[in-house]
Structure 1
Amino acid sequence: MEPTARARKTPLPGVGARYDMTTESGRHLSVVVHQDARRFLAFHDPEDDDACKDATALAPHEATALADLLTPDPVGHLQQHLEIDLVTEHITVSKRSPYAGRTLGDTQVRTRTGASIVAVLRRTSAVPSPTPDFRFAVGDTLVVVGTREGVGAVAELITGG
Structure 2
Amino acid sequence: MLVPGGIAVPSSRMSRTPLPGIGVRYDVNTRDHRRLSVVARRDGSRTLNAYERDDPDECALSMQLTAGESAALIDALMPSHHSPSLLHTTDLGLVAERVELSAHSYWNGRVLGETCMRTETGVSIVAVIRRTHAIPSPGPDFRLAGGDTLIVIGTREGVEAADTILGRE
Equivalent residues in 2 for 1:1-12, closer than 5 Å = none
Q: Is the 8 A contact 1:114 1:150 kept in 2?
A: yes
SS across alignment from 2:92:
coil
Q: 1:131 to 1:85 in 2, by over 3 A?
A: same
Give unpaired runs (5+ residues) of structure 2: 1-78
TM-score, with length taken from structure 1? 0.50
SS in 2 for 1:118: strand
By relative contact order (CA 8 Å, sep 6+), the higher-ranking structure is: 2
The yes-or-no answer on 1:155 pairing with 2:163 is yes
| Residue from 132, 143, 147 that aligns with 1:139 | 147
Query: What is the CA RMSD across the aligned residues, in angstroms?
Result: 2.7
Instruction: Count residues with an aligned counterpart.
Output: 91
Preserved CA contact (<8 Å) 1:87 1:148? yes
Letter of the 1:143 counterpart: I
> Is the 1:96–1:159 Cα contact (8 Å) retained in structure 2?
no
Alignment of 1:83-122 (within 5 A): 84-122=92-130
Q: Give TM-score scaled by structure 2 length.
A: 0.48
Amino acid at match of 1:146: G
In the TM superposition, residue 98 of structure 1 has moved relative to its aligned partner by 1.3
Deviation for aligned residue 1:85? 1.0
Q: Computing the radius of gyration over CA atoms, which structure comes out larger, 1 or 2?
A: 1
Structure 1 moving runs of 4+ over 2 Å: none
The runs of 5 or more residues in structure 1 that have no matched partner are: 1-63
Provide the C-alpha distance between the structure 2 equivalents of 1:121 and 1:150, rounded to a whole number of angstroms.
20
